[in-house]
Amino acid sequence: MTYTLDQVRALVAVAEELHFGRAAERLQMTQPPLSRQIQRLEAIVGVQLVHRSNRRVELTDAGRAFLDEARRILAIADGAPHIARTVAAGLSGVVRIGFTASSAFTLLGPMLARISQALPDVTIELQEMVTKHQLDALTKSEIDVAIGRPPFDPAHFGSQRIHRERLLVALPEGHLLSRRTSPIGVEDLANEDIIMHSPVEARYFYDIATRMMPISRWKHRFTVSQVSTMV
């Protein structure tokens, strides 16, 4: 058998009023049912919590120790409905977000700042992974939101474009092409060693690059899964 919240409230009221009559009035009940609540609580706990006499009411040492925990229990119980409502409304709880390494450079910081301002009670858990792994994690309910690169299968995922960026070529310092003032074209890269995205781990960028310039025209190819690795 376990005690009830009503019994815990009864003890807290008696402890704070130190008078059964006032405690009963505070709880909007008569004194006999209040006394029975305390007696049942003591029977369940197995020790005397309240010392009664004709002139005064006081807590025993065990009662004072129990009182501290009783207040915590009531605070949790009283706050639980509010927490449930805010979670149901999407105003609190935990949101697990997957993101690509490249999105951390410009996109992720401002996005997290806006989320923190709009939803201060929401805890964000971040997990860095390539888009392919994010989609797998979404399917397994391991993350709630993915910040990745298209395409996404509309039959399985809802998506919205939140950022657009240019595709650039990065060159080592001192490279001949880095001194040019005119735009660099695809033909200029035909005889260069190319570091590009993996066709497995970063299919989106791989497809863009191969549409711009067929693989057969590249001198050498090195593949990586993240932009940060390229740089």
Q: Residue 215 is part of which domain span?
A: 176-230
Please tell me the predicted confidence (pLDDT) of residue 43.
95
Residue 58 lies in a domain: yes
Residue 79 lies in a domain: yes
Please tell me the predicted confidence (pLDDT) of residue 93.
84
| Average pLDDT of span 204-210 | 78
pLDDT band (50, 70, 90) for residue 231 = low
How far apart CA 170 and CA 231 sit, in angstroms, is: 8
Do residue 77 and residue 96 come from a single domain? no
Model pTM score: 0.53
Do residue 131 and residue 66 come from a single domain? no
In 10 A of CB 27, how many CB atoms?
18
Residue 157 lies in a domain: no
| Average pLDDT of span 19-30 | 94
- Residue 219: is its pLDDT beyond 60? no
Please tell me the predicted confidence (pLDDT) of residue 141.
93
Do residue 21 and residue 38 come from a single domain? yes
How far are the Cα atoms of 81, 98, 104, 142, 166 from residue 127, in angstroms, in the given order?
Answer: 30, 5, 11, 10, 25
Which of 70-79, 86-95, 115-124, 180-189 holds the top average pLDDT?
Answer: 70-79
Which of 19-33, 52-66, 205-219 holds the top average pLDDT?
Answer: 19-33
Q: Name the residue among 11, 2, 100, 97 with its Cα closest to residue 50.
A: 11
What amino acid is encoded at 216 in this protein?
S
**Domain count for the chain:** 3
Q: Identify the CATH number of the domain in which residue 32 sits.
A: 1.10.10.10
